[in-house]
Structure 1
């Protein structure tokens, strides 16, 4: 039987429907929007709020807060690629048993090495175990606490290390946040209420069992990776094995095993590579009418694949991504990224197109994006969102 071919137009149609970006396929609430995307990026505090807002009608920051901090139907978790995500709660065992466990092991190794190298302790492993146990004891029965309070109240967290000398992100840093990151990646503690506005990130920490009302048992790595791959294919398929390896931050072997475990079906893609879909997802997708969307920094759609040519002109990458591959805000027309969006000091949203995007959007696309900008301005209601990962286009770089 001939291998089915999925062209770029079909991939964009799938994206429009499954990601809740087409007006006819909006999602109902915070949990359904998170499930639709498998996970939401949460490195920047505002991103999950804006990501949900872009995929739903009438769901604002208050509902996102309620899902995170009252219903706790979605949770923040350090997982794939040492990135902070918002996950549906039922995905937590799979993430903790696979991608998060890989991150935790690597962070443990690096921290114990640095503790010994900087003279904090001769035995970094013993020091880290003592520090972790001290944090767990201190949080037991306590209200959620910010990292600063934990540093002040837990002597075992004392110490600093100097890393990345001569680099942009180098400097001398306390070890306390790295201990918390290890415990968080292992699922023993979790991020509780945000002590700041939703647009800024001031997390508090609490025991995971206290926050969720139960212990979370990680599944075995193979089962965890299989579940992550199953959900990723439902959201992003077809995608390549390389897309999955990058997204998971895993090994090629883990991806191959997971694809086999879920019974993934191979298809051909327009760029000549092989892609994969779930066995019940092989039917062609119908086209959709043109649509416009404004997505936030590091949105899960923009960051879903490593190979992005089916929705992104390679010439636009330097204007929309930083040198580490982090995407800024994006403006979409009919399934393709055509630019970015920024805010005036009063919070009004403006769309900025690349030269290629201007030609691609045309009059219809530009008008639709102006309408999206007005809607987003109303949704933000004067709130100006700060960005850590601002692209060249967002910064106003002159375009050729």
Structure 2
């Protein structure tokens, strides 16, 4: 591939939980692997042609910017609704302030990000001190802990598609990210977005069983079936049972002329 945008587009998404995986996955597929870090950083933090955001299974991925609306509508909306409800319940159980208070803090944080452009959680807490508030999580349980409003709220805003992870502190291997406002994207119909996302993934990684697709998307089985039907996916016979491919993709794949191997990171999307 000529650049990281082409890599991400061909794979649909790059797994982004581990920051190094994005760069290594791109480097493994570039014509000039030496450009992997510099070109990917430009795409993520300068040109914004790639966006690191929450996607399938409430997991962080790097997507082509043009695909963010599809991901948000197909996957993010449902995950975000559950995440906000859970945060409000957890705060209520700990005797912390209510949803109205949380909304005030949220609006203040988004305004601070609009002024700053990018900021760390600590920098945002300077503008909005209520981010430093703490509350007990799962009191009385063996996994009881203490959460900050900052850690839970910023993650929630990411799931809701309101903020994205920006340039990290330190090098490309750092796990400490700044936050930035999410790029604007169009609102899409959920069913249409699910059909498009499933079709893109099947075209790259198919064939896949219904169970495979349910796991990868994080959707309900009924949503997977609806998207397969809308897509006009073709059933094929696999060792695991019935699989699906996009129309026109049922022919056998030609074997390579010579054996080859690729060194890929642990969380590579094809692994």
Which TM-score band (shorter chain)?
A: over 0.9
Shift of 1:120: 1.3
Match 1:143 to one of 108, 111, 117: 117
Query: What pairs up with 1:31-110 in 2 under 5 angstroms?
Result: 31-59=5-33, 60-110=36-86
What is residue 267 of structure 2 aligned with on the other side?
298
| 1:249-260 map, 5 Å | 249-260=218-229
2:133 corresponds to 1:159: yes
Report what 2:248 is aligned to.
280
User: Deviation at 1:185?
Assistant: 1.7
* 81, 95, 100: which one aligns with 1:126: 100
Q: Name structure 1 gaps, 5 residues minimum.
A: 1-26, 210-214, 303-400
1:157-196 to structure 2, matched below 5 A, reads: 157-163=131-137, 166-167=142-143, 171-196=145-170
Compute the displacement of 1:161 (Å).
Answer: 3.2
* TM-fit CA distance, 1:175: 2.1
- Unmatched segments (≥5 aa) in structure 2: none
SS across alignment from 2:110: helix
- Structure 2 residue corresponding to 1:220, chosen from 157, 168, 189: 189
Q: Distance in 1 between matches of 2:234 and 2:215?
A: 20
Higher relative contact order (Cα pairs below 8 Å, separated by 6+ residues)? 2
Counterpart CA distance in 2 for 1:161 and 1:220 is 37
Structure (1/2) with the larger helix percentage? 2
Q: Deviations over 1:2-58 (max 9, x none)?
A: xxxxxxxxxxxxxxxxxxxxxxxxx22201111121100010110100111112231
- In structure 2, what is the Cα distance between the partners aligned to 1:128 and 1:266? 47
Q: What is the CA-CA distance between 1:270 and the residue it aligns to? A: 2.1
Write the distance in 1 (CA, Å) between the matches of 2:193 and 2:101.
30
Shift of 1:162: 3.5
TM-score (norm 1): 0.64
Following superposition of structure 1 onto structure 2, how do residues 374-385 of structure 1 map, counting pairs within 5 Å?
none
Equivalent-residue separation in structure 2 for 1:264 and 1:239 (angstroms)? 11
Q: Secondary structure at the match of 1:294?
A: coil
Q: Distance in 2 between matches of 1:75 and 1:86?
A: 5
Q: Distance in 2 between matches of 1:228 and 1:103?
A: 16
> What is the TM-score when the length of structure 2 is the normalising length?
0.93
Matched residue count: 266
Residues 134, 156 of structure 1: 8 Å contact kept: no
Residue 195 of structure 1: how far off its partner (Å): 2.1
Q: What is the root-mean-square deviation of aligned Cα atoms in Å?
A: 1.6
Distance 1:162 1:294 in 2: 43
> Whole-Å Cα distance in 2 between the matches of residues 173 and 194 of structure 1?
22
Moved over 3 A (4+): 161-167
